[in-house]
Chains A and B, each alone.
Chain A
Amino acid sequence: MQVPILKQGRYLIATIQAALSDEDLLQLRSTLLDRVVHFRSRGVVVDVTALDVMDSFATRTLRDITYMIRLRGADTVIVGIQPEVAFAMVQLGLTLEGVATALDLEEGLAHLEQRARLNP
């Protein structure tokens, strides 16, 4: 299943709408990395509100995406992790270290705005 990636001003928004296969995740990774440079985006929001489970591969890929996008010159924020999912992840030791997280899309965009203000 394809993940739609929307451009919103200086930011990209990727909304994951259903559980993704490993291949879909890798596809998302390469598409995002391309688009970030193509649109000269300042930040990326990955919305995982619809996911009710996050396995280790998904978590690791999201972390990798964040790191790689940082190397391409933009910030990433993961938004909408459900409370149950968050606790399950922590119990499995998947804590998304070094990755910014926010409550929802609005918060995520606010976070990116703030980052942009700090380093214009």
Chain B
Amino acid sequence: MASKRAAEVSQPTSPQSTELLRELVAHLRQNRTQLREEWANRITEAQLLTAMTKEEIFAEATSVYDNYVEALATGTFEALQAYARNLSERIIPRGVETHEVVGIVLLLRDVLARSLFAKYQADFTKLNRILDAYEPAANRIANTVAVGFVQERERVIRQQQEAIRELSTPVLQVRERLLILPIIGVIDPQRARQLTEQLLRGIRTNRAKVVVIDITGVAAMDAAVANHLVQTVEASRLLGATVIVTGLSPEIAQTIVNIGVDLGKMNTVGDLQGGIEQAERLLGYKVIPVAELALPT
């Protein structure tokens, strides 16, 4: 049986298969209500799309079904692709998983194939020819929907990464003309570049005179990143701001000494508190406890 089918597949005559597809589409349109319902039932049975209500599943099933038949009929996938993307956009935030989406499309494929079996069981040759026309198209549809879903997910992930990256290097104003830049975690070259960009821009917009970069939360950095840090300090100076680096770990101190930085250019203080105190001195602030002020002189 398999060999016979293979022989037929090897010579697909396109007008004929178009004819078959047309017949197929007519069949699917005719039995729309029944097939759609069966499909929705199968989805519920298989416990897919549990995040959605039965009504929602039915509504989605209807439009997926129509788009599916449309793609079969026209042989173009743009509309389906757009729909798949739109669908993914709506269901990803509700926690629908990849296997569920692939699962429902494969279920639809099965339901339709079953109905074809039922219809053409008397005429085996015809059934084979119909399946030859149906299967490649159905596979492509399944592929399109799955890829659309995964792409949408990846887009969401990329967006979130971007958001995390921006959150990861806050430039904060502590006092007029004083910024702090607390850095936590691993600095890779990309993050280092972004950090520099944000800091230099922050100096401009906040008209900062002193910046404290606190790297207590950074365990180690390689020579390239350490070098980048030193360059950032120098670039800040060109903008007229003094940079104080605080909280260097022994490992980072070692790295910086190893790459041979001229320490005259780098202003370092042990901890963040010391850094802010020195910055305040540079800016001409003096912090006096209220109690001391109240003392009679």
Contacts and interface: CB of A to CB of B under 8 A. Distances in A.
Nearest to A88: B235
B178 to A, nearest CB: 14
Contact of A103 (B204, B234, B235): B204
A101 B238 contact: yes
Interface stretch (A11-19, A32-40, A90-98): A90-98
A91 B207 contact: no
A103 B238 contact: no
Interface string B195-234: 0110011011001010000000000000000000001101
A102 B204 CA distance: 11
B240 A90 contact: no
Nearest to A103: B240
B235 A83 contact: yes
Interface residues of A, number: 19
Contacts of A96: 238
Nearest to A89: B238
Contacts of A90: 231-232, 234-235, 238
A81 B241 CA distance: 12
B239 interface: yes
B233 to A, nearest CB: 9
A44 interface: no
A83 B204 CA distance: 8
B204 A87 contact: no
A74 to B, nearest CB: 19
11 contacts: A79-B240, A83-B235, A86-B239, A87-B235, A89-B238, A90-B238, A96-B238, A101-B238, A101-B239, A102-B240, A103-B209
Interface of B: 196-197, 200-201, 203-204, 207, 209, 231-232, 234-241, 265
